[in-house]
Amino acid sequence: MVLKMNHPILEKAKLLESELTALRRDFHQHPELGFEEQRTAAIVADYLETLGLEVERNVAKTGVIGLLKGKEPGPTFALRADMDALPILDEKEVEYSSRNEGKMHACGHDAHTTILLGAAKLLTEQGIEKGNVKFVFQPAEEGQGGASAMIEGGALRNVDAIAGLHVNTGIDTGNITVSSERVGCGAADFFSLKIIGSGGHAAHPHMTVDSIAVAGQILTALQNISSRQVNPTDPIVVTVGSIHGGNASNVIAPIVEMTGTVRTLNPELRKKVPSMMKKIIKGTTEAFGATYDFDFQYKFPSILNDDALTELVVQTADDVLGEGHSSREKPGLGGEDFSFYTELVPAVFFRLGVGNDDMVRYPGHHPKFDIDEKALPYGSAMLAKVALNFLDKDLEGENR
């Protein structure tokens, strides 16, 4: 498909493509885990300062906040990007593959950071008549509470609304998707379970309580929550991600430990999950003579998209990308700690296409994950224009 790139802000963004690509590749070569993003944060802060923005460093340890003020006072619109990488070995054979062994930008946060820097440059060059734009560069999105830490550090101070994006290789470059529902992603909660049996010799199982056998029963039974205990139209995923027990082939293990995650869209169902799991675990362990230790942690709620802001993103996409390059899709069950911002101020989160048919579209968290770098200017243009449109519409009283 030939894309028409005739919107002024997209044309300006396209002129930044080589600069954005170089930035993204540098971040990709030097991935840093959550709350360790010292190098990344320094580059971000230095870049924002060269643009003439007010910059706060060391927010929530490694976060950065930049502020662009308009010519006159007005509302403040925030744009957020996450900066952290994952503890994954980069298996790509490219010149910009990770130089930090066992660490990799396998979820596109290097692209998010780059895209927001591009948006900052576009907005700085254009200027703002009234109001402000706050650029929030967040550490530790991958399960470590970076968003909450940034909020405690003042990221939402005086903020009227916020927007963010996530790259997606399943969507073609030049396109975006927004959630078809107010809920933008799944709630991501986590659990740990210890099954306590009684070990012994593998030749004499009748003299033991086999924790591995009990674990197998529980593992199977937990899947009945989604298949038999919940309305099929209500999405839920119960995943056991790790399981450890035993040290020798001829010994019945006394203890098995497992950890996992539960993903839901329905807040009411989310509240019921721990008791549903505990009922299965308690009944199974009692039946086989074992005991257990179960811990369930509510971690990340679902993103709640503001209806008016979602419409604003769609309208912006029609303007910047051209009609037909945005679509509404059902929310996925992937978690995103952007959700914490959405609980406090009107917010919107959308997915940016970074895939094409000439590449292998590896999903996020895959050791060969990569993106179409031609998508970077599209992301920068979209974020910049969403901010401008919010401030313009606010001047007309349309967001109040």
Determine the pLDDT at residue 393.
Answer: 84
From residue 84, give the alpha-carbon distance in Å to each of 227, 291, 335. Answer: 35, 39, 15
- Is 172 among the residues known to form the active site? no
- The per-residue pLDDT for range 297-342, each reduced to its tens digit, is 999 999 999 999 999 999 999 999 999 999 999 999 999 999 999 9
Mean pLDDT (whole number) for 23-52: 98
DSSP 100: S
E-assigned strands of 180-312?
A: 187-196, 200-201, 236-245, 251-252, 255-264, 291-300
Indicate if the alpha-carbon torsion angle 32, 38, 39, 40 is positive or negative: positive
- The per-residue pLDDT for range 138-178, each reduced to its tens digit, is 999 998 999 999 999 999 999 999 999 999 999 999 999 99
Interatomic CA distance for residues 150 and 56, integer angstroms: 12
Token pair for 382: 């979209």
Interatomic CA distance for residues 19 and 118, integer angstroms: 9
Question: What are the CB-based long-range contacts (under 8 Å, 24+) for 4-12?
Answer: 4/322, 7/319, 7/320, 7/321, 7/381, 7/385, 9/122, 9/126, 9/320, 9/381, 9/384, 9/385, 9/388, 10/320, 10/321, 10/377, 10/378, 10/381, 12/122, 12/125, 12/381
Query: How many residues are recorded in the chain?
Result: 400
Interatomic CA distance for residues 216 and 390, integer angstroms: 53
Determine the pLDDT at residue 399.
Answer: 42
Mean pLDDT (whole number) for 58-71: 97
Single pTM value for the model: 0.92
pLDDT at 7 over 70: yes
Closest CA to 318 of 176, 162, 184: 176
> Which of the four pLDDT bands, split at 50, 70 and 90, describes residue 395?
very low
pLDDT at 295 over 60: yes
Determine the pLDDT at residue 394.
Answer: 61
Helix (H, G, I), strand (E, B) or coil at 229: helix
CB 182 within 8 A of CB 304: yes
Identity at 64, one-letter amino acid code = V
- Is 82 among the residues known to form the active site? no
- % pLDDT > 70, the chain: 97
Determine the pLDDT at residue 303.
Answer: 97
Determine the pLDDT at residue 397.
Answer: 44
- The per-residue pLDDT for range 93-141, each reduced to its tens digit, is 999 999 999 999 999 999 999 999 999 999 999 999 999 999 999 999 9
Phi, psi of 13 (to 5 degrees): -65, -40
pLDDT at 71 over 80: yes
DSSP string, 59-92: ETTTEEEEEEE-SEEEEEEEEEEE---BS-----
> Which of the four pLDDT bands, split at 50, 70 and 90, describes residue 1?
very low
Indicate if the alpha-carbon torsion angle 316, 320, 322, 326 is positive or negative: negative
Helix (H, G, I), strand (E, B) or coil at 114: helix
Catalytic residue among 36, 37, 110, 141: 141
Domains of the chain plus CATH, in order, are 8-185+302-395 (3.40.630.10), 187-300 (3.30.70.360)
Interatomic CA distance for residues 234 and 245, integer angstroms: 33
- The overall average pLDDT reported for the chain is 96
- Strands 63-69 and 130-138, sheet pairing: antiparallel
Helix (H, G, I), strand (E, B) or coil at 52: coil
CB 179 within 8 A of CB 332: no
Determine the pLDDT at residue 37.
Answer: 98
Catalytic residue among 32, 84, 172, 372: 84
From residue 73, give the alpha-carbon distance in Å to each of 19, 76, 132, 160. Answer: 32, 9, 8, 13
**Residue keyed to tokens 């007005």:** 74
Strand partners, 196: 255, 291
Determine the pLDDT at residue 6.
Answer: 67
- Tell which phi-psi region holds residue 16, choosing left (phi > 0), alpha (psi between -120 and 50) or beta: alpha
Higher-pLDDT residue of 6 and 377 is: 377
